[in-house]
Amino acid sequence: MQNPAVEIVVREFYANGYYQRDNDEVCMRGKMVSFAPEVINRYYDIEAVEDDEYTAFLTK
């Protein structure tokens, strides 16, 4: 069973983040929340990937 509170927060995140594509932050319920790769990596305790194919593709 899906938690409706989580779905509401996810929808709000995407709705607010849509207009801030040049920034790694979104306003969620009155607070600025960063979703920068470094923050996500720290949250999940994973190392950053320095040389990946996706980044190389984007910079061409």
> Per-residue pLDDT tens for 27-55?
888 888 888 888 888 988 988 877 777 77
Mean pLDDT for the chain overall: 78
The letter for the amino acid at 6 is V
DSSP string, 17-45: HTT-TTSSEEEETTEEEE--HHHHHHHHT
More confident residue, 15 or 23: 15
The domain spans of the chain are: 4-58
pLDDT confidence of residue 18: 62
Residue 9 to residue 33: CA distance in whole angstroms: 12
- In angstroms, what CA-CA distances link 10 with 14, 17, 39, 40? 6, 10, 18, 16
Q: Model pTM greater than 0.85?
A: no
Residue 3 to residue 17: CA distance in whole angstroms: 22
